[in-house]
Amino acid sequence: MNTNQVEYQEKTLRAPNGLAILLLNIVLMLAAVAGIVYSAVQLDNGAGGAMIALLVVCIFYWCLPCWLLFAGVKVLRPNEALVLTLFGQYIGTLKGEGIFFVNPFCSAVNPAAEFAFAKAAEEAADSAKSGSKLSSGRISTGSGRGKRLSLKTMTLNNDKQKINDLLGNPIVIGIAVIWHIEDTAKAVFAVDNYQEFLSIQSDAALRNTVRLYPYDVSEGGDEKSLRGSSQEIAGVLAEEIQKRVACAGLKVEEARITTLAYAPEIAAAMLQRQQASAVVDARKMIVEGAVGMVEMALDELSRKQVVELDDERKAQMVSNLMVVLCAGKDAQPVVNSGSIY
């Protein structure tokens, strides 16, 4: 982190109820209109200097003070905040819901909204050059409530990335980050654009985390893998992102892996390898079961003394049973009508 950078801590600004001031200002504006009309009529009838003074005061109130009072009225919805500065100095964050009144010379700061508005304006200019029509609502949204910071829980869905896992296999992975603003002062003043900062740091943390684990491990392995331990790795990823964005006053609630697959160039080969591994595991299980069944058959024949077999006949019987039990096709029985010797 930059050591020369001033670190701000959020401080809540206590502002009076703006509804009373708003109503009072409207009443005074109506009174000023009435005063202007009344003084004008009286001056037309030859009234003296008092009417001139009343006319000047009413016109002055309409020209400046009433608009300053309107400028100081701020409306906040639930889970919204305004970071306010006065002549470049941070004075506090306005939170809550309702109508508030602050210093009319205060200005709200939100770099993310300014960036979004500039981007929307650039897209509008490009659309105008190409002749396509762009809805005006896209830009007006940024200018209408863009200075307000949302304190709601939000979701970041970055583009899918192609990253090499621990074994060097390229995989395609995508994540969703659940987050919210915890410190409004840090979010506004510590970084240039907190949303873009979160996006970049999430991509960097994802790359560093994925390189520590293989995509998959063989059956029975204790090693963690991206596919087999996705919940645990998602937790590790969330902690890594939180460490990176804490300086920006952001809180990462959760990180989820939304997409996980081999890259297209090796997907077919890895599928064949998985299929071959599955076939080997299945054959291994069949052989183990067949050996157990043959052993059980020999033990039962010996225990019940059904027939006495020498070592050569036992070997032949074992061979025949293994072929029958391990064969991929149904066995064709052969009936021996003569002596087995």
* Dist. CA 214–CA 229, nearest whole Å: 10
Report the pLDDT averaged over residues 300-307: 72
Q: Model confidence over 137-163: pLDDT tens digits?
A: 333 333 345 688 999 999 999 899 999
Number of domains in the chain: 4
Q: Which domain covers residue 132, as residue numbers?
A: 114-145
Say which CATH number the domain at 226 has: 3.30.479.30
Q: What is the mean pLDDT of residues 116-127?
A: 61
Residues 278 and 207 placed together within one structural domain of the fold: no
Distance CA 24, CA 19 (A): 8
Tell me what pLDDT residue 47 has: 74
pLDDT at residue 72 is higher than 80:
yes
Please say which residue of 145, 164, 196 terminates a domain.
145
pLDDT, mean over the chain: 81
Alpha carbon distance 9, 195 (integer Å): 19
Both tokens of 274, joined, read 């998985």
Written as six digits, the tokens of 234 are 């998602």
Look at residue 163 and tell me if it is in a domain.
yes
When comparing pLDDT for 195 and 341, which is higher? Answer: 195
245-261 tens-digit pLDDT? 999 999 999 999 999 88
192 vs 270, residue with greater confidence: 192
- Contact status, residue 165 vs residue 210, Cβ threshold 8 Å: yes
The span from the CA of 291 to the CA of 263, in Å, is: 41
Segment 206-247, tens digit of pLDDT: 999 999 998 887 665 568 888 888 889 999 999 999 999 999
**Structure confidence at residue 134 as a pLDDT band (50, 70, 90):** very low
Residues 128-143 have a mean pLDDT of: 46
Q: What is the pLDDT of residues 201-211, one digit of tens each?
A: 999 999 999 99
- Which residues in 25-144 belong to E strands, given as ranges? 73-86, 89-101, 106-108
Confidence bin at 135 (pLDDT 50/70/90):
very low
11, part of any domain: no
| The pLDDT value given to residue 142 | 38
* Whether residue 49 has pLDDT greater than 80: no
Q: Are 106 and 85 in contact (CB under 8 A)?
A: yes
The helix (H) or strand (E) run that includes residue 181 is strand 170-181
pLDDT score at 242 = 96
Confidence at residue 238, expressed as pLDDT on a 0 to 100 scale: 94
Q: Flag whether 221 is in a domain.
A: yes
Rounded Cα–Cα distance for residues 128 and 130 (Å)? 5
Q: Is residue 231 classed exposed, middle or buried when 0-12, 13-18 and 19+ CB atoms within 10 A define those classes?
A: exposed
Q: What is the pLDDT of residue 299?
A: 77
Q: What is the pLDDT of residue 39?
A: 87
Q: Do residues 79 and 121 both lie within one domain?
A: no
Regarding whether 248 and 172 lie in a shared domain, the answer is yes
d(CA 83, CA 184): 7
Predicted local distance difference test score (pLDDT) of residue 140: 35
Kindly state the helix (H) or strand (E) to which residue 209 belongs, with its residue range.
Answer: helix 194-210
Which residues lie below 8 Å from residue 187, measured CB to CB, with a gap of 6+?
Answer: 149, 181, 194, 248, 249, 250
Tell me the C-alpha distance between 282 and 289, whole Å: 11
Angle, alpha carbons 8-14-18 (nearest 5°):
130
